[in-house]
Structures are given as structure tokens and as C-alpha cells.
Amino acid sequence: MPNDYDAAQALYMGMEVLIAVSSVIGNVMVIWAVKINRSLRDTTFWFIVSLAVADIAVGALVIPLAMTISIGLQTHFYSCLLVACTVLVLTQSSILALLAIAIDRYLRVKIPTSYKRVVTPRRVRLAVVACWAIAFIVGMTPMLGWNKLHNLQQQNGSLSSDFIITCQFENVITMEYMVYFNFFGWVLPPLLLMLGIYTEIFYMIHKQLNKRVSTSHNDPNKYYDKELKLAKSLALVLFLFAVSWLPLHILNCITLFCPKYENPILLLYIAILLTHGNSAVNPIIYAFRIKKFRIAFQMIWKQYFCCKEAPPIEMQMSERVDKNDYSHAPPPALPMEHNNI
């Protein structure tokens, strides 16, 4: 059994390194692509950049700390608690960024003619700041007292908070916080809300596409077709996020409601790897599903990694544009019937 445990831990370490490197490189390229491609600098993609920043932090900070914790690092209680809270902050910021993206796409489909007037750059910046502020408050709540310090003090027979513990997530964070406050309060409701938003988006778009539009009204149909394509890509990001994070939260629920049951270490490692791996998959989705990202990634690779001359990104876009490209130009003038969808 010890050999099996060592093998599982070695495999876990190797996978964590691979995920960390992929997450940092992939999400740096996402931000780089937005920087060099002006057509990617609209409201949705600023939320995507916020999501990429959180994913970079997971690869560069959270995963190395998780690897350190997995070897049974001995540290002060509040040092370990700060590490755990950092993970919670970044997770919550990702959820709120996904929710902001869903709301943004909903408004773009619901009020296409007044979207630019409602969703201004200033309001987008405020929304991004609000997402991070809320994530910080939710994630740092255990630092304010909702933690296991009192339990550890009772076990050690000491009132001091300055003692050494084996730094593990479950040693400092209570399952009551993780299940009742974090999962039931700040993870599950936003996921269900996003599910409802994307369902409504697809319903509205299909309703518009199924209408018999005259030849002179082809532009609105083309606009909704492009919105449908991007909505599918972003819904896929949401789906993978849910698949990646729900297993770990389900294990937390089992730990809280069935305290006599001990989660297998291998199952726990898989759940943790899924949560970290989610930080590396989004750039892959963007590359395969969103053409403007794909073109920007190719230019970055050729020019900066292969040292080859590449034409300006705008020239590449003009040469490769087709009817399936996503355009971030203001929506076309829609007939009055399209305003009430």
C-alpha cells in the first residue's frame, strides 16, 4: 500500500507540473492575443482576460502551493489558511467572470440596438473590479474566524494561534463553510443562473433564426448566427468549469454529511487535478472555437517562437475573414420586430 500511495503521489505531482505549465503559457497567450488584436478588445473579452488572469495565478501560484501542501508541509496555522483562502478567491473570481460573460452575451442578444449604450467600457471595468472584490470577500471569509483554529486549540490544549500544523486544506477550512457558504451560496446558484441565461440566449437566437426574414434583412440573421456560434463556445467553457469543479464539491458534501466515510486518496487527487486542469483548457477552447483567437495564436507562435515574419494581425483578418467569422462591429440595424426578443 505505501508503494501504491507513493506512485499515486508521484503521478499527481507530474500531472500538476504539466497543468501548471500549460495553464500559464496558454492564458498568457490569451492576454497577448487580446493585446495585439484590436478586434478582440470588446466587453466580453475583457471578462475573458479577467478569467485568464485568475487561471495564470492558479498555474503560477496555487498549483505550486498545492504540491507543497501534498507532501505534508509543516507551517503556521494562518500561513496555511492564507494559502487555502487564495485558492478560494481565485475560484470565486472565475465563477463570477463566467457569470459576467453570460450576462454580457444575454444583453447583446436581448438588446442588440442599444447594447453599446448600456454596456459601456466604464461599466465593464466596474464589473470586473466588482467581481474581484466579491471574490476576495467570499474567499477570505475564513481569515475572519470561520476556520478550524478553535478546534485545533482544543485538541492541543492551548489558546495560542501561533502553532505549527500539517498544512492541508481540510485542517484549516471547515466543511460547513465549504458546503453551506461556498458551494450552496456562491458556486451552485451562479452555475444554475448561468445555465438559465444560456438556455434563454439559445432560445432567443433560434427564435430569430427561424423567422422568415426577407432578402433585405439578411444582416440581422447573419448577426444572430455569429452570436450563436460564440455563445456555444462560451457555454462550453461554462460546462467544462462545472464538470471540473462539481466532483470536488460533491466530495466535500460527502465529508460533511457522511463523516464516517473516508474519501479515497486517489479519488481526491483526481478531483483536485480536475479543478486545476480547468485553468489550462480555456485557451484550447478559444483556439479551436473562436477564429480570431486562433489567428492571433498562430501569429504569436510564428513571430515570437518560430522567429518568422508574420503580416499584421489586421491584414491576416482581412485575408481570412469569411461568413463564419465572429464580428465585434456594432450590430446591424435591425427591423423593429427584432428589438423585442
**Is residue 30 a contact partner of residue 293, using CB atoms and an 8 Å limit?**
yes
**Is residue 165 a contact partner of residue 80, using CB atoms and an 8 Å limit?**
yes
| Main-chain dihedrals φ then ψ at residue 165, nearest 5 degrees | -130, 165
Using pLDDT thresholds of 50, 70 and 90, give the confidence band for residue 161. low
Angle at 67 between CA 65 and CA 70, to 5 degrees: 110
pTM: 0.86
Strand partners, 74: 166
- Looking at residue 302, its pLDDT comes to 86
Strand partners, 76: 164
Q: Give the separation between CA 112 and CA 104, rounded to whole angstroms.
A: 11
- Looking at residue 65, its pLDDT comes to 84
Domain map (residue ranges) of the chain: 1-300
Helix (H/G/I), strand (E/B), else coil: 164: strand
- How many Cβ atoms are within 10 Å of 299's Cβ, its own excluded? 20
- Residues in Cβ contact with 131 at an 8 Å cutoff, skipping those fewer than 6 apart: 50, 93, 96, 97, 100
Q: Give the separation between CA 125 and CA 148, rounded to whole angstroms.
A: 36
Write the secondary structure of 212-257 as one string of H (helix), E (strand) and C (coil).
Answer: CCCHHHHHHHHHHHHHHHHHHHHHHHHHHHHHHHHHHHHHHHHHHH
**Is residue 278 a contact partner of residue 241, using CB atoms and an 8 Å limit?**
yes
Q: Mean pLDDT over all residues of the chain? A: 85
Angle at 102 between CA 100 and CA 106, to 5 degrees: 115
- Looking at residue 89, its pLDDT comes to 95
User: Residue 64 pLDDT > 70, yes or no?
Assistant: yes
pLDDT digits (tens, 9 = 90+) for 168-212: 898 999 999 999 999 999 999 999 999 999 999 999 998 888 874
**Is residue 63 a contact partner of residue 38, using CB atoms and an 8 Å limit?**
no
**Is residue 54 a contact partner of residue 94, using CB atoms and an 8 Å limit?**
yes
Q: Give the separation between CA 206 and CA 211, rounded to whole angstroms.
A: 9
User: Residue 336 pLDDT > 50, yes or no?
Assistant: no
More confident residue, 89 or 322: 89
- Looking at residue 67, its pLDDT comes to 86
Interaxial angle between packed helices 2-36 and 63-70, expressed in degrees from 0 to 180 and rounded to the nearest 10: 170
User: Residue 340 pLDDT > 90, yes or no?
Assistant: no
Using pLDDT thresholds of 50, 70 and 90, give the confidence band for residue 330. very low
Using pLDDT thresholds of 50, 70 and 90, give the confidence band for residue 316. low
| Main-chain dihedrals φ then ψ at residue 213, nearest 5 degrees | -100, 135
User: Residue 10 pLDDT > 90, yes or no?
Assistant: no
**Is residue 220 a contact partner of residue 338, using CB atoms and an 8 Å limit?**
yes
User: Residue 158 pLDDT > 80, yes or no?
Assistant: no
Task: Specify the CATH number for 1-300; select among 3.40.50.720, 1.20.1070.10, 3.20.20.20, 3.40.50.300.
Answer: 1.20.1070.10
Using pLDDT thresholds of 50, 70 and 90, give the confidence band for residue 164. confident
| 75: DSSP letter | E
